[in-house]
C-alpha cells in the first residue's frame, strides 16, 4: 500500500458521515487515518543482526571448507592463514551481510512484509491509544468520545471509546463497524470505508447514548490525516 492520497471529496464524505452520526447520539466521533503507525526501524535492525549472526555461525562451523575454497579461488593453496586473517574474514562477512539486509529493508514494502503480524498489531494499537488520549479521551463533558483509527500500511484499524461508551458497549460490538470499513477498503474506497464505519458506530451510540436536547458538538467532525 502506497502513501494515502485523499481528495477534498473524500474528506467531505467522512466529515458528513460524522455529522450525521452525531445527530443521533451524544457520542463524539473522531476519525484518524495514517500511512503507518511506526517505522519499525528496530525490526529492520533485528533482521539484519539475525542474518549476520546466522552467517557467522555457519562460518564458524564451515571455516575450513571456506578457507580452502578461498585459497583455491586465488591460487593461494600454500598461503598460511593467520588469526588476524580469519578475524578480518569474519568481520567482513558480518558487516557486509548486516548492511545488505538493512539496506534492502529501506524499501518499505519489504520492511513491512518482514514485520511479524503480532508486532504490527501491538504498534498500531499503541499508536491508536496515544492518539485517543490526545484527541478524544476526557475531552467531552460526558466522556463520550470515540476514535476510529486506520493505519494503511499495516492494514489494521482500531476503535477506542471513552469511559461512558465503554461502560455500556463491549469492544466486540464494534466488529460490524470494522467489517463495514474493511469491505470498502478492499476495493480501494477509503473514504467510503471510513464513512461506513462511522455510520455503524453512530447506530450503536444512538442505541446506548441517545442525543440529549442540549448536546453540543465538542470534537471536530473532520477527518484527520497524519
| Residue keyed to cell 442505541 | 207
| N- to C-terminal Cα separation, the chain | 16
Sign of the C-alpha dihedral computed for residues 3, 7, 11 and 13 taken in this order: negative
CB 198 within 8 A of CB 29: yes
Q: Which three cell numbers stand for residue 205?
A: 451510540
Distance (Å, rounded) from C-alpha 83 to C-alpha 61? 16
Task: Please report the pLDDT score of residue 62 as a whole number.
Answer: 65
The residues near 203 (Cβ < 8 Å, ≥ 6 apart) are: 21, 24
Per-domain residue ranges of the chain? 8-39+116-225, 41-113
CB 195 within 8 A of CB 186: no
Distance (Å, rounded) from C-alpha 197 to C-alpha 184? 10
Q: By three-state DSSP, how is residue 156 classified?
A: strand
CATH topology of domain 8-39+116-225: Diaminopimelate Epimerase; Chain A, domain 1 (3.10.310)
Task: Please report the pLDDT score of residue 30 as a whole number.
Answer: 95
Sign of the C-alpha dihedral computed for residues 213, 215, 217 and 221 taken in this order: negative
Task: Please report the pLDDT score of residue 132 as a whole number.
Answer: 92
User: Cα Rg for the chain, rounded, in angstroms?
Assistant: 26
Task: Please report the pLDDT score of residue 223 as a whole number.
Answer: 95
Distance (Å, rounded) from C-alpha 177 to C-alpha 15? 17
Task: Please report the pLDDT score of residue 57 as a whole number.
Answer: 85
Task: Please report the pLDDT score of residue 93 as a whole number.
Answer: 80
| Residue numbers of the chain with a pLDDT score lower than 50 | 1
Distance (Å, rounded) from C-alpha 9 to C-alpha 189? 12
Residue in 193, 191, 185, 137 with CA at minimum distance from that of residue 160:
137
Residue 143, by phi and psi: left (phi above 0), alpha (psi -120 to 50) or beta? left
- The number of helices, as runs of H, and strands, as runs of E, in the chain is 9, 4
> pLDDT by residue (tens digit) across 50-107?
999 998 888 777 666 666 656 665 555 555 555 666 677 778 888 999 999 999 999 9
Task: Please report the pLDDT score of residue 1 as a whole number.
Answer: 46
Task: Please report the pLDDT score of residue 121 as a whole number.
Answer: 96
Q: How many CB atoms lie within 10 A of CB 147?
A: 25
Amino acid at each position: 500500500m502506497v502513501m494515502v492520497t485523499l481528495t477534498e471529496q473524500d474528506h467531505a464524505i467522512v466529515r458528513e458521515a460524522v455529522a450525521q452520526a452525531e445527530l443521533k447520539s451524544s457520542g463524539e466521533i473522531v476519525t484518524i487515518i495514517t500511512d503507518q503507525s511506526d517505522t519499525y526501524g528496530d525490526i529492520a535492525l533485528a533482521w539484519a543482526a539475525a542474518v549476520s549472526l546466522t552467517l557467522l555461525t555457519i562460518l564458524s562451523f564451515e571455516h575450513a571448507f571456506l578457507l580452502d575454497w578461498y585459497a583455491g579461488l586465488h591460487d593461494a593453496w600454500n598461503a598460511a592463514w593467520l588469526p588476524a586473517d580469519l578475524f578480518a574474514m569474519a568481520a567482513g562477512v558480518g558487516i557486509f551481510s548486516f548492511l545488505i539486509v538493512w539496506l534492502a529493508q529501506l524499501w518499505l514494502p519489504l520492511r513491512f512484509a518482514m514485520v511479524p503480524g503480532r508486532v504490527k498489531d501491538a504498534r498500531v494499537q499503541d499508536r491508536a491509544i496515544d492518539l485517543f488520549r490526545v484527541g478524544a479521551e476526557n475531552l467531552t463533558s460526558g466522556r463520550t468520545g470515540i476514535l476510529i483509527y486506520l493505519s494503511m500500511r499495516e492494514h489494521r484499524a482500531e476503535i477506542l471509546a471513552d469511559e461512558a461508551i465503554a461502560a455500556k458497549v463491549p469492544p466486540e460490538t464494534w466488529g460490524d463497524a470494522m467489517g463495514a470499513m474493511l469491505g470498502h477498503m478492499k476495493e480501494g474506497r477509503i473514504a467510503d470505508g471510513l464513512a461506513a464505519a462511522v455510520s455503524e458506530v453512530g447506530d450503536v451510540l444512538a442505541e446506548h447514548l441517545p442525543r440529549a436536547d442540549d448536546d453540543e458538538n465538542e470534537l471536530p467532525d473532520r477527518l484527520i490525516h497524519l
